[in-house]
Amino acid sequence: MNVDFLMPVKSVVLAHNELLPKQALGRTMRIHKEKGCFPELEGVQLAIIGVNESRSESNGGAHVDFDLSAIRIQLYKLFKGNWHGEIADLGDVEPGESIQDTFYAVTALTESLLKQNIIPIIIGGCQDLTYAMYRAYDKMEQMVNLTSVDSKFDFSASDELISSSAYMSKIIMEQPNNLFNFSSIGYQTYFNAQEEIDLMEKLFFDAYRLGEVTNDVTIVEPVLRDTDLVSLDLTSIKAAELGYGANTFPNGFDGREICAIARYAGISDKVTAFGVFNATKTLQCAQLTAQIIWYFVEGYNFRKKDYPFITNANYDKYIVPLEDMDICFFKSNISGRWWIEVPQIENLNNKFKRHTLLPCTHMEYLEASNGVVPERWWKAYKKMLV
């Protein structure tokens, strides 16, 4: 890992940390406190990195005002749960001479942590840093599932392929293309052109409207269970929950819902990177961002490690006969969670093989029993044929 990209945690945060009780999170994690004294990463499972980059092409390269120190102060004072995972705070990536320089640093750091089986938790400015995190998977020889918690799909409506509000266009169009599935959680229809909604359907991507999720937040659990990279845009949270900071909106998730989503992301055995972006400079936003990170870490420490294998005795297999085929479901005896099997396709690219078992719900099993093939099965099958 190139530690030269990382600056130590600010002294104001460290001063606050010294006043905290020994049970506080900030007193139990390994912290990059001064230049030349980088924390030992052996045994670390999660690593926090702040990125002081808020420039983007869409805002003319201007900086957006946000405060990583305020988020850290609020995070450090929280008490840890009954956790086994070691956490490190590796400090901050300062803005490079250009935005691309910052992207390069974030990609390199994320890639290094992934190779060490450490989950990076990136706290940054604009959400286009998701693109830099995604590029870290290029050498992993796997297809990537990306989930964005956002009110917008972040496609570009112009020739500008990447910006704080259009990074997804570049992810889709740029080579190498390792994206298998993109899921949007909490989109609000009036923020997205109909052409974008149609494109999501055409590419067999998954989109869940804000109302669907707030009506039943558990519907996102199977989505996050099958995700590698989670990008959470704080502007998907309603303005009242964020202290009415800049660029916030009246509708969105409340604090309980967004923390539940973060916990689902943490408890997923597949999630290997987590990013939180677009913080506003209010105390309330700093507090909620800290709690979102806390819930992600809480979820990580309660992972079930029950991804199903056909020969594993801890799973019950259910075969649903339909008119033209049989569909197999698996239920974990450890967690009670369900998976659906997508049949192997001859000469299938090896990168797709890990996607032949998809997380699903008990309701989808019941629907299949009544002759209805689950939509997520069809989408996965069609993507493999493309």
Same-domain status, 138 and 278: yes
Query: Can you tell me whether residue 86 is helix, strand or coil?
Result: strand
Assess whether pLDDT exceeds 80 at residue 328: yes
Same-domain status, 279 and 333: no
Per-residue pLDDT band at 311 (split at 50, 70, 90): low
Same-domain status, 56 and 118: yes
Q: What is the pLDDT of residue 381?
A: 82
Same-domain status, 341 and 269: no
Is residue 40 one of the residues assigned to a domain? yes
Helices (H), the chain: 11-18, 25-28, 68-76, 99-115, 129-135, 167-173, 194-202, 210-215, 221-225, 239-242, 255-267, 283-300, 362-369, 375-385
Q: What is the pLDDT of residue 92?
A: 96
Same-domain status, 252 and 330: no
Boundaries of domain holding 214: 3-300
DSSP single-letter state for residue 249: B
Is residue 193 one of the residues assigned to a domain? yes
Let me know: does 154 contact 193? Beta carbons within 8 Å.
no
Assess whether pLDDT exceeds 70 at residue 108: yes
Same-domain status, 274 and 321: no
Q: What is the pLDDT of residue 61?
A: 52
Average pLDDT score over residue span 104-130:
95
Per-residue pLDDT band at 157 (split at 50, 70, 90): low
Note the pTM of the prediction, 2 decimals.
0.92
Please state the domain count of the chain: 2
The domain boundary residue, chosen from 273, 300, 327:
300
Same-domain status, 228 and 351: no
Same-domain status, 131 and 262: yes
The domain boundary residue, chosen from 300, 331, 353:
300
Is residue 309 one of the residues assigned to a domain? no
Same-domain status, 29 and 91: yes
Residue 357 falls in which region: left (phi positive, over 0), alpha (psi -120 to 50) or beta = beta
Assess whether pLDDT exceeds 60 at residue 348: no
pLDDT tens, 267-286?
999 999 999 999 988 999 99
Same-domain status, 92 and 222: yes
